[in-house]
Amino acid sequence: MPNNPTPLQDVYAEPAESHKVHAALTRSSTGSEDLRELGSGLDSLQSDAVRKARIDWTRILLPIAAIAVLIVIWQFYVSLGIKRRDLVPGPLDVLAQMGTLWGEGKVQEAVWTSLQRGLVGFLISVAIATPIGLLLAQVAPLRRAFGPLISGLQVLPSVAWVPAAIIWFGLTDATVYFVVFMGAIPSIINGLISGVDQIPPQYRSVGTVLGASRLQMALQIVLPAALPGYLGGLKQGWAFSWRSLMAAEIIAVGGTIGFGLGSMLDQGRILSDMSVVMSAILLILAVGILIELLVFAPIEKRLLRSRGLLAGSTR
């Protein structure tokens, strides 16, 4: 049987002056109040002071400066006159062309058509890929069976599906969406699986000890723990959606497929108008950068900061 625990008052009753501190072997504090005080002193010594966040202008100015330098180099190369102007237009020519296209309303139409398709396709891909990824990551036989196939699908360029899609669905939106799905879904699934693989095994032990059921384990522990990897998968999934979409729009032109950025690019090729081609490329790039800066970067930063993973990174 246990020794009867001595009541607190008796144990800590000795006056502080007469108490010899032999830390490690005997009680090192002289009572409940003393203990609380020592503890809170140690806590404040070991906690970091709160740091105020400021706007870091280098974050905004450096990328702009980098773009300015590239444009200056471009203009300089063009002004050397090595190539014909209609083959290599300068930045000002492209800007003028973009102005004309904007005036005709083509820029707005193309960006809107593509962006809307890209986002809808991406969101549907997320909705399909997330449960599949979670299931594959949690159920070993399923993963063994389908894992290699999913990895393989990620390697297969989704452009390869365009001919098949045209044969099955004709020149309709379904073709475009099908190609987007085949690009985005495997990469989101893979991102989620690798996120789950990187969870410290202890988290699952904690879940088991706390009495989590299989579903609770998946939703309350595995999914939030895998979030950084999952977000990486989502980013890649978006990149694959956007690329697949452009490929599909370039190849499948006409029918009920509207006028997107890929179509604009193809039109420039048919007309042999290099400034249209360059305008379309720059617009495709700009949309990609904006989505990264306005959507993914803030989410990722918040996620990493809240988990204490941001310190020391060059972000």
Partner 1 sequence: MPVVLENLGKRFGDGAPVLDDVNASIAKGEFVALLGASGCGKSTLLNIMAGLELPTSGALEVPSDGAAFMFQDSALFPWLTARENVELALKLRGVGRSERRVKANELLELVHLAEAGDKRPHELSGGMRQRVALARSLAQDRQLLLMDEPFAALDAITRDLLHDELERIWKETGRTIVFVTHNVREAVRLGQRVLLLSSRPGRVVQEWNVTEEHRTDAGLAGQLTGVITARLREEIRRHAK
Note the residues at the interface with partner 1 (CB under 8 A): 1-3, 5-6, 8, 11, 14, 20, 22-29, 32, 35-36, 38-40, 42-43, 46-48, 200, 202-203, 205-212, 216, 220-221, 224-225, 227, 306-308
The per-residue DSSP string of 152-177 comes to HHHHS-GGGGHHHHHHHH-SSHHHHH
Q: How far apart are CB 123 and partner 1 at their closest, in Å?
A: 23
Q: How far apart are CB 15 and partner 1 at their closest, in Å?
A: 13
CA-CA distance, 193 to 198, in Å (whole number)? 9
Q: How far apart are CB 220 and partner 1 at their closest, in Å?
A: 7
**Is the Cβ of residue 31 or residue 121 nearer to partner 1 in the bound state?**
31
Q: Are 175 and 257 in contact (CB under 8 A)?
A: yes
Determine how many CB atoms are found less than 10 A away from the CB of residue 280: 28
**Is the Cβ of residue 46 or residue 79 nearer to partner 1 in the bound state?**
46
Question: Which residue type sits at 193?
Answer: I
Please work out, in degrees rounded to the nearest 5, the angle formed at the alpha carbon of residue 236 by the alpha carbons of 230 and 242.
135
Q: How far apart are CB 1 and partner 1 at their closest, in Å?
A: 5
> Tokens 């299931």 correspond to what residue?
135
Question: How far are the Cα atoms of 125, 159, 213, 242, 292 from residue 249, in angstroms, in the given order?
Answer: 18, 10, 46, 11, 22
**Is the Cβ of residue 294 or residue 311 nearer to partner 1 in the bound state?**
311
**Is the Cβ of residue 230 or residue 240 nearer to partner 1 in the bound state?**
230
Tokens (6 digits) for 67: 């773009």
Tokens (6 digits) for 31: 């009572």
**Is the Cβ of residue 30 or residue 97 nearer to partner 1 in the bound state?**
30
**Is the Cβ of residue 221 or residue 257 nearer to partner 1 in the bound state?**
221
Tokens (6 digits) for 245: 């979409």
Q: How far apart are CB 232 and partner 1 at their closest, in Å?
A: 16
Q: How far apart are CB 5 and partner 1 at their closest, in Å?
A: 5
